Amino acid sequence: MLNCGKPIETGTYMKIKKLGNRSKISAQAGFSLIEVTVGMGVIGTAAMALFSGFTSGFFTMQLARENLRATQVLLEKTETLRLYSWDQINTANFIPPTFTSYYDPNDTNSAHGIIYSGTMVITNCPVSSSYNDDMKMAVITLNWRTGSLPRTRTFSTYIARNGLQNYIY
């Protein structure tokens, strides 16, 4: 046999150094109970922070959806005011003072989900001017609950006698 071009002498053996007592090595190769406990505590804290982040993210998305739906309801009620004539706006109880709207994105069994209850108040315009009798102020308030948290949105606008309704009717 050749080893890098030099013959190997017969009777030469490779020497393997013994590392020590085998039972002593295997006893030192594992983790102690304290190390395992600290490691599990770190993993538990990281998992708890991860799930807390998920919960916070889902709650923030729910609040955003509910806020968007509230804005849609307020806009819907405001847009219907534009279609009424001046006489209809001034007729008592023509525009209902209270209303209810629902929101359930997964409405499969007629469960209404979140209930938005609102009020619409039409009063004289608080502006003191020569055209005060030709203006009204509408205040639309919407209330709902997110879990145990009460939520509210309010929108106010002005209605003029010679507004958009003269172009529609």
Burial of 148 (0-12, 13-18, 19+ CB in 10 A): exposed
Query: Tell me, what DSSP letter sits at residue 8?
Result: P
pLDDT at 104: 76
C-beta of residue 165 within 8 angstroms of C-beta of residue 86 = yes
Which SS3 state, helix, strand or coil, does residue 2 take?
Answer: strand
pLDDT at 11: 59
Tell me what percent of the chain is helix, strand and coil, each rounded to the nearest 5. 40, 25, 30
Cα separations (Å) of 112 from 48, 75, 106, 145?
33, 20, 9, 13
Query: How many whole angstroms separate alpha carbon 23 and alpha carbon 13?
Result: 27
Query: Tell me, what DSSP letter sits at residue 18?
Result: -
- Return the domain boundaries, the chain: 22-168
pLDDT at 75: 94
pLDDT at 24: 55
Region label for 60, one of left (φ > 0), alpha (ψ between -120 and 50) or beta (otherwise): alpha
**Spatial CA neighbour of 72 closest among 149, 153, 158:** 153
- The distance of Cα 106 from the centroid of its chain, to the nearest Å, equals 16
pLDDT at 83: 87
Alpha helix locations (H) across the chain? 22-28, 33-83, 86-90, 165-168
> What residue ranges of the chain have pLDDT lower than 50?
1, 167-169
